[in-house]
Structure 1
Amino acid sequence: MKFAYRFSNLLGTVYRCGNLNFTCDGNSVISPVGNRITVFDLKNNKSNTLPLATRYNIKCVGLSPDGRLAIIVDEGGDALLVSLGCRAVLHHFHFKGSVHSVSFSPDGRKFVVTKGNIAQMYHAPGRKREFNAFVLDKTYFGPYDETTCIDWTDDSRCFAVGSKDMSTWVFGAERWDNLIYYALGGHKDAIVACFFECSSLDLYTLSQDGALCVWQCDTPPEGLRLKAPTGWKADLLQREEDEDEGDEGERETTIRGKATPAAGEQQGKVKYSRLAKYFFNKEGDFNSLTAAAYHRKIHLLVTGFASGIFHLHELPEFNLIHSLSVSDQRIESVTINSSGDWIALGCSGLGQLLVWEWQSESYVLKQQGHFNSMVSLAYSPDGQYIVTGGDDGKVKVWNTLSGFCFITFTEHSSGVTGVTFTTTGYVIVTSSMDGTVRAFDLHRYRNFRTFTSPRPSQFSCVAVDSSGEIVSAGAQDSFEIFIWSMQTGRLLEVLSGHEGPISGLCFNPMKSVLASASWDRTVRLWDMVDSWRTTETLALTSDALAVTFRPDGAELAVATLNSQITFWDPENAVQTGSIEGRHDLKTGRKELDKVTAKHSAKGKAFTTLCYSADGQSVLAGGMSKFVCIYHVREQILRKKFEISCNLSLDAMEEFLNRRKMTEFGNLALIDQDAGEENGVAVPLPGVRKGDMSSRHFKPEIRVTSLHFSPTGRCWAATSTEGLLIYSLDAQLLFDPFELDTSVTPGRVRAALRQRDFTRALLMAFRLNERKLLQEALESVPPDEIEVVCSSLPDVYVDKVLEFLASSFEVSRHLEFYLLWTQKLLMLHGQKLKARVGKLLPAVQFLQKSIQQHLDAVSKLCDWNRYNVQYALAMSKQRGVKRPSEPPQSEEEEEGDDDSDSLHLLGAGHGVGDGAGAGDGAGLLL
């Protein structure tokens, strides 16, 4: 299962559209990103995208009260019932229409879906297995326009539904005698949100024009009476009462309502009266209210507006607590966690997600993806970080473990076209269309070098040699390659010879040879040592789009415009093979295409290439939703990955959708968003400010860049969806090695009891089960590790190295595994050097794991050292300031110093776990 890569995580996109939700404990935010769901763990500072996807972009998410189930509904009306514990889809359902919102009742037995101008109540799925998880209970009619929001009472007896017809409807979840439905008016614009008060039927309604109405109910929730059954139901109920009268005399039947209600129950219907009406826009300027959330226990109301401002009010007095601005973009969604401390805000225009702690006025989470599409990416040499560049001119660095961006560089004034790391891993070099190549330092987070050309040029690609001393960039307009010195920043040479734009650059990892691909159908090899001259020119059959060297530098792969991948021997300038990839791209048909998908595929090609860590395979992606892995020697397709199944993107379907075809043409030609401003219909030109010429378009699916991790365990791709990570999930796979009938877990444990550690370890590796491997390895005493390592065969040394590297990430036995690593490398070092090409991914994986522990431990040690020095300085200062006081005993003095040190050590450790720079995801806890 060497190529069993599975979707692991989605970075670079933190929020697209839909509603945000906090989990029950209030420590995680559930955010819809396109057609996927990402869970941001704010306590542990990690993000994780669930391995499931809907057919269209997600419209709304409903979370059960216990936090175990979630209902995810997309724009097409398809729903997924998801178990958040096991991260699996339990049920599929289609609501037959566009759903605006979904909400579970507080007791978890029902959920309501608003669709069109109706509200439908379903029985919520239970913990037992059911044939049909969604059973329709009731359908509620009343609003004349589309429904917009739902809110339940605390006891799940009633729920309120807001509508675009400026009315709010209160419905009974049961057949109440004194409340069937109640309509509330008083607004002059569409209802955005409605909220019940705690343990009451009192209601707050908010409209889009910034008006808040406070409604008081004359009946408490306990005053609702069940309606007495009539007809055959009443006869059946009377028969059951007669049968059970003798057996259970104390059994009450008032849950179904009495035929003759008591005198206290003979009251009128439920009535509402408006107590007050408040306005958010007191200055008179129009600022539409777009999202709201209310916390019943602390009476906190949070409202978001189209201008990016959000207010915090205390109800029912309507006292303003805060008024802050996130950005100048529309706030799409607002939610509050269960404790009322954190507020989550989502802006779809910027793709921004914020979590704000309103009491301390600080950010818990501040993340934003690239405003436009990502163009390029690069892994750091140890695999811990990924750097991405986008069309918005930003350079972002992502942590692969947490999934958060911890620094953003904004020095470029135009789109970034290429990014790369130096071999040290602490310098990032980027090229841009603004005519500059910049070098960024990851120690001080600054731009310390800016390389420019004599004449302004737009750079399309960048490359750095293995020593990190030479920086090269290719120009798109002057057809030249510029060479600079990293140390001095001076321009060393301008290489000319290409007759078309430079599309790709790559340095040989083993030699100072630069390969440049161009649209002039050639790839040139330049010697960086011998007078910058051209050593070879490789003639191609079509325009070159990408070029890359194999990790050992002995082979060169080139992607061309005719969908071919050609392989070359750079020493002899001989072509060694080619792969035809046109049929593997399998592009889709755009909505407005006049030709079929089969004919449109003729103009598509691979635009990015990357070799695997062992050099045996090549990864290719381009103008398609597929990424292909080819075997280089056999020149066959090994596996094909589908990057996205989101039909909200263009060029996803192979055939035209006949439902969108009419006798007048394609419905896609009709601009649905014309004449609308932020989703609000504009009645007349000039009434509201906005760009009347703006048009809606669907982004096209494509893969812009690919890169294998140096460890070989995962690979990343930048696409229209974001930064996708695919990794090997070895824990869920049974992949034995040389297995026979004599190898069983029982025999492994028997060999451990007999202290035959070598045989037990070999059998465990042949069975290849992680828990058994861990048990066998940790059973070896530390003084016998050297003996066991010396007796291991060469075939098993590689497997032990890989297991040690993966164990460093999860195990707490740091010293024990470091001892294993040291003995293994010392005893088998010479043999490992002979197989360095094959073992390089495992060694880099090991280096990455050890480097993570080194960074964490060194950071903690530095904080402890500084805090101990501070504690000593403070104790000396106290002794100087108070000379008149009687001297303490030695025991008391030592106790004081220790207590100060311990107190400051704890504080230092808390600060050390804080945020990075830029828009990082630091937790201020």
Structure 2
Amino acid sequence: MKFAYRFSNLLGTVYRCGNLNFTHDGNSVISPVGNRVTVFDLKNNRSNTLPLATKYNIKCVGLSPDGRLAIIVDEGGAALLVSLVCRSVLHHFHFKGSVHSVSFSPDGRKFVVTKGNIAQMYHAPGKKREFNAFVLDKTYFGPYDETTCIDWTDDSKCFVVGSKDMSTWVFGAERWDNLIYYALSGHKDAIVACFFESNSLDLYSLSQDGALCVWQCDTPPKGLRLKAPRGWKADILQREKEEEEDEEEGDRETTIRGKTTPAEQERVGKVKYSRLAKYFLNKEGDFNNLTSAAYHKKTHLLVTGFASGIFHLHELPEFNLIHSLSISDQRVASVAINSSGDWIAFGCSGMGQLLVWEWQSESYVLKQQGHFNSMVALAYSPDGQYIVTGGDDGKVKVWNTLSGFCFVTLTEHSSGVTGVTFTTTGHVIVTSSLDGTVRAFDLHRYRNFRTFTSPRPTQFSCVAVDSSGEIVSAGAQDSFEIFVWSMQTGRLLDVLSGHEGPVSGLCFNPMKSILASASWDKTVRLWDMFDSWRTKETLTLTSDALAVTFRPDGAELAVATLNSQITFWDPENAVQVGSIEGRHDLKTGRKELDKITAKHSAKGKAFTTLCYSADGQSILAGGMSKFVCLYHVREQILVKRFELSCNLSLDAMEEFLNRRKMTEFGNLALIDQDAGEENGVAVPLPGVRKGDMSSRHFKPEIRVTSLRFSPTGRCWAATSTEGLLIFSLDAQMLFDPFELDTSVTPGRIREALRQREFTRAILMAFRLNEKKLAQEALEAVPQNEIEVVSTSLPELYVVKVLEFLAASFEESRHLEFYLIWTQKLLMSHGQRLKSRAGQLLPVVQFLQKGLQRHLDDVSKLCDWNRFNIQYVLALSKQRGMKRTLEPVDTEEDSDASDEDSLHLLRAAGEEEEEEMLI
């Protein structure tokens, strides 16, 4: 139970590839992020990643009309049927090929999948439990090249499919007599999107060269006739018709279902299409290709995205330009419009950017972007509310752990960031970079207020700040020196020399001003910051040191070395107290071009990052692997191994050699199948069908660059190739007993509450350790008796109650009641708990996190109300002065002014309520 950490959220990446979707209510965006799916709740300002993953990167997502089900298909053709209500996988299926798009019919009964040069229609899964949720209904042939897009009519009778062979095909979802299939041509490039008009068979088609064709149909949707059945079906229908005629001799029908007379068949011909107009969206030449489009049928709004990062808004069918804007210099990979037509979502896969644009007010609803390159370092704020990350792109981003959004990006560094850390106050971020600077950022004003440099240019590989926040140190990887600055003055205090190799890690003792530095020269040096910067101790290692960290109480030091060992040292006596051999625990993967298995590979089997848990009993270790190992320090055993990713689109994921990829000409991985496309645009070469075979694709390698435990001990975070992964304790488990015996039952607890024996009821509830019962027992205590009950609780149960109160602050609305409980417990047991300060530190920080969040919300609310009241008073005073200068004939003016003031107050109150709800 203590180590039941599960994946809870993915930060740092907001969009990778695939198509964007809005939910049924239009308030959330569903975005594929690698092999996971993230839901961005725009109304409540939250982002949440679904607890599921595919084997490869997600190619397309199809959403049911009611918004309850989603079909997620990866690049390999494997599909997951996901319930968005319970956030779980309902069914697995494989389409046996690469799927380009998935679309549900508007009535939710069927869905169409485009695969290769065919379109397959399946019966959509129903609300009942089914053995096979995907039943193939029909397969439609026609296009000669790969199919690209799908759209349905509003009545679900027909659908249209676009293809790379420059043709658009209209298919009937049922066996219509006057429409089986219809091919439309007229474009000179691959079809990117095609859309039906509302309640009509008229449609629009857009090609990659920016051409828009408007097609008009001479038949309304009601003019489609079902094809008359043949064979045994016709005999059964004829027999049923004769029986009905025998029973009802008066009313005789001339046709059976789906069958028309020859005269009617002559009057009503086949469906015909004619091209009304052709428009051109591309005004900037051949290099600005159309890459994505979306159409809102109710408002007739067409949104088109281009390879240059520009998007256009047009009104159809008149083709009036409403708006044009450039959002980036990368191609717009996906576009989606919500149900009301107010918000437009754009995804740029090249920059990992996700934007939601409100086109009427011309403002951003959401603007998020991950690190352009991989993340390198992370740090938790002291209260656990924020996470700061640094990347190879030189950017520093601060993320809110509750909402999952980045709220500030700091771009002062001109090269890759190598280290980030918070000061103990939590208001200052210190970062080191390869550009030769160490910078301090203020989180109140979001500015760089200190820049620390060295006398001669050097590249900094790590950074550390002492517990007072006054001393800043950074290690150099080229001059092998450690530089020490003063935060207050910004001056260089000293340069610590002694290492004979690059400095790989720095860490301050949390309780003393002692700095530990790890280097590739196989030593860890301890420097005393108060004793003339001298080397206090030198710890000799058996291999190169890669990472170093202190235990939260400062009584132990852990070092990771190149020979896959973690050694533990007593910093006071410079004595090694233990070691862990992790050579076979990390399990590095085999790269795509390696000719041996991962077990026999000697590369990358060392831990490169370490982190102690909040209580200091466990340690997390990670490296160039998809696994993170959790060890128990005292027992020196592997407690649990967490798998961060199962995405085979990343390199170094497989363990064994795949013989099917080995041919007589070499490894198939050397040949890139998609090398003929550059930014989604085919590169034509004379005599080559697949494009330029000399170009190579880039496959990122899985690795863990940094690990940190939250100060509250409830979760830990890891920066990896996938992004910023957060694992938290599983909150779904209800039953976690503590010193339980047979006399403790829910009935006994409620009986004690009825007899007003509150202390006994609370003790039994926390021994049973079920959240609902503990909440019931605590909330049953009258407010005037809280102090008496809190003093009578044993010290062991005080910690349990404080943990429960800290968790309740994040959910409950009984703020004052739980604040009184917290105050009385700390006042009555504070002196006795001081002896266990190290163990209680995570609980206190968990409490502080909840209280700080409420303080921020309430202070904003109070300031807002105070300013509104001041404004209303100033306005009424101004009108009162006017009233004294001008004679008032009647009392209507004064009543009107009072009503205006009341109206302003009421409006301010309503805004505040809305803000609190959000």
Asked if TM exceeds 0.5, the reply is: yes
> What one-letter code is carried by the residue in structure 1 that aligns with 2:886?
S
| More deviation, 282-291/491-500 | 282-291
1:30-109 → structure 2 map (5 Å cutoff): 30-109=30-109
How many positions carry a matched residue from both structures? Answer: 912
Offset of residue 246 of structure 1: 6.3
Any residues of structure 2 matched to 1:202-241 within 5 Å, and which? 202-241=202-241
**CA distance, structure 1, for counterparts of residue 261 and residue 206 of structure 2:** 40
* C-alpha distance in structure 1 between counterparts of 2:903 and 2:299, whole Å: 38
- 1:638-657 counterparts in 2 under 5 A? 638-657=639-658
Q: Which amino acid aligns with 1:213?
A: C
Is residue 886 of structure 2 the alignment partner of residue 884 of structure 1? yes
Is this contact kept in 2: 1:99–1:115, CA < 8 A?
yes
Quote the Cα distance in structure 2 between the aligned partners of 1:617 and 1:9.
22
Deviations 1:647-706 (A, max 9, x none): 00000001122332222111001133434321222113899xx99975311100000000
Partner deviation per Cα, 1:250-275 (whole Å, 9 max, x = no partner): 99997951264673784111100000
| 1:812-854 Cα deviation digits (max 9, x unpaired) | 1100000110111111111211111111111110010001000
Q: CA deviation at 1:436?
A: 0.1
Partner of 1:311: 312
Q: Which moved more, 1:185-194 or 1:773-782?
A: 773-782
Q: Deviations over 1:481-532 (max 9, x none)?
A: 0000000000000000000000000000000000000000000000000000
Q: Secondary structure at the match of 2:445?
A: coil
Could you tell me which amino acid in structure 2 is paired with residue 371 of structure 1? Answer: F
Residue 809 of structure 1 corresponds to: 810
Correspondence for 2:668: 667
**What corresponds to 1:452 in structure 2?**
453
8 A contact 2:47–2:404 mirrored in 1: yes
Q: Report the Cα offset of residue 759 of structure 1.
A: 1.8
Q: CA deviation at 1:244?
A: 5.8
Cα distance in 2 between the residues matched to 1:908 and 1:811: 19
Contact 1:337/1:343 (<8 A) preserved: yes
Which amino acid in the other structure matches residue 473 of structure 1? A
How big is the shift at 1:793? 1.6
SS at match of 1:876: helix
8 Å CA contact 1:367–1:404 kept in 2: the answer is yes
Shift of 1:750: 2.1
Task: Give the partner amino acid of 1:145.
Answer: D
Say which is worse superposed, 598-607 or 249-258, in terms of deviation. Answer: 249-258
In the TM superposition, residue 286 of structure 1 has moved relative to its aligned partner by 3.5
Aligned to 1:919: none
1:370-381 mapped onto 2 (5 Å cutoff): 370-381=371-382
After TM superposition, the structure 1 = structure 2 runs for residues 239-278 of structure 1, keeping only pairs within 5 Å, are: 239-242=239-242, 256-258=257-259, 260=261, 263=264, 266-278=267-279
1:509-568 CA-to-partner distances (Å, cap 9, x unmatched) read: 000000000000000000000000000000000000000000000000000011100000
Give the letter for the 2:349 counterpart: S
CA contact (8 A) 2:73 2:80 kept: yes
1:643 maps to amino acid: L
Where does residue 168 of structure 1 map in the other structure? 168
TM-aligned CA distance change 1:175 to 1:820, over 3 Å = same
- Aligned match of 1:902: 906
For the Cα contact (< 8 Å) 2:100–2:115, is it kept in 1?
yes
Distance 1:678 1:749, change over 3 A: same
AA in 1 matched with 2:700: P
Percent identity over the alignment is 86
Secondary structure of the equivalent of 1:274?
Answer: strand
**How far does the alpha carbon of each residue in 1:371-424 deviate from its partner, in whole angstroms, 9 at most, with x for none?**
000000000000000000000000000000000000000000000000000000
- SS state of the match for residue 797, structure 2? helix
Distance 1:92 1:290 in 2: 30
Cα distance in 1 for partners of 2:638, 2:185 equals 64
In structure 2, the residue matched to 1:130 is 130
Using the TM superposition, give the Cα deviation of residue 788 of structure 1 relative to its aligned residue in structure 2, in angstroms. Answer: 1.4
SS at match of 2:732: helix
Equivalent-residue separation in structure 2 for 1:283 and 1:262 (angstroms): 54
Q: Given the superposition, is the C-alpha separation of residues 12 and 254 from structure 1 closer, same or farther in structure 2, using an over 3 Å criterion? A: farther
Equivalent residue, structure 1, for 2:346: 345
TM-score (norm 2): 0.96
| Alpha carbons of structure 1 residues 76 and 341: separation in structure 2 relative to 1, 3 Å | same
Change (3 A) 1:255 1:568: farther
- The corresponding residue for 2:841 is 840
**Separation in structure 2 between the aligned mates of residue 247 and residue 332 of structure 1, nearest angstrom:** 62
Q: Distance in 1 between matches of 2:175 and 2:816?
A: 67
**1:621 touches 1:703 (CA, 8 Å); kept in 2?**
yes
TM-score, normalised with respect to structure 1: 0.96
Which sits farther off after the overlay, 837-846 or 417-426? 837-846
Is 2:441 the counterpart of 1:437?
no
Is the contact between residue 671 and residue 693 of structure 2 (CA under 8 Å) also seen in structure 1?
A: no
Offset from partner CA, 1:872-894 (integer Å, 9 cap, x none): 22222223345214296998766
Q: Which residue of 2 aligns with 1:545?
A: 546
- Report the equivalent of 2:403: 402
- 1:584 aligns to what SS in structure 2? coil
Give 1:283 deviation, angstroms: 4.9
1:280 equivalent in alignment to 2:249: no
Deviation sequence 1:747-797 (CA, Å, 0-9, x none): 222222222222222222122221222122111111111121122122211
CA distance in 1, matches of 2:163, 2:787: 74
Q: Assess if the C-alpha contact under 8 Å between 1:226 and 1:255 holds in 2.
A: no
Q: Contact 1:312 / 1:323 at 8 angstroms: preserved in 2?
A: yes
Give the counterpart letter for 2:231 in structure 1: G
| Distance change in 2, residues 1:417/1:270 (3 Å) | same
CA contact (8 A) 1:863 1:905 kept: no
**After the TM superposition, which residues 337-736 of structure 1 pair with which residues of structure 2 at under 5 Å, given as runs?**
337-684=338-685, 695-736=696-737
Contact residue 396 and residue 411 of structure 2 kept, 8 A = yes
2-side partners of 1:836 and 1:248: how far apart? 91
Residue type matched to 1:55 in 2?
K
After TM superposition, list the pairs within 5 Å mapping 1:735-774 onto structure 2: 735-774=736-775
Q: Distance in 2 between matches of 1:130 and 1:382?
A: 47
Q: Cα deviations across residues 101-151 of structure 1 (Å, max 9, x unaligned)?
A: 000000000000000000000000000011100000000000000000000
| Cα 1:472/1:254, change in 2 over 3 Å | farther
Distance 1:891 1:185 in 2: 70
Asked whether the equivalents of residues 458 and 479 of structure 2 are also in contact (C-alpha less than 8 Å), the reply is yes
Maintained 8 Å contact 1:420/1:462? yes
Secondary structure of 2:874 counterpart: helix
Q: In structure 2, what is the Cα distance between the partners aligned to 1:609 and 1:96?
A: 42
- Separation in 2 of the partners of 1:681 and 1:52? 34
Change in Cα spacing, 1:264 to 1:776, as seen in structure 2 (3 Å) is farther
Larger displacement relative to structure 2 (556-565 or 766-775): 766-775
Deviations 1:712-759 (A, max 9, x none): 000000000000000002333421112233222222222222222222
CA distance in 2, matches of 1:15, 1:469: 39
SS in 2 for 1:736: coil
d(CA) in 1 for partners of 2:536, 2:263: 102
8 A Cα contact 2:374 2:723, kept in partner: yes
Which residue matches 2:869?
868
Check whether the contact 2:596–2:657 (CA below 8 A) recurs between aligned residues.
no
**Separation (CA, whole Å) in 2 of partners of 1:542 and 1:596:** 25
Q: Which runs of 5+ in 1 are unaligned?
A: 915-922
Change (3 A) 1:881 1:769: same
Superposed CA offset, 1:611-661 (max 9, x none): 000000000001100001000000000000000000000000011223322
Q: Is the 2:14–2:354 Cα contact (8 Å) retained in structure 1?
A: yes
| CA positional deviation for 1:603 | 4.0
The one-letter code of the counterpart of 2:701 is E
Judge conservation of contact 1:867–1:908 (CA < 8 Å) in 2.
Answer: no
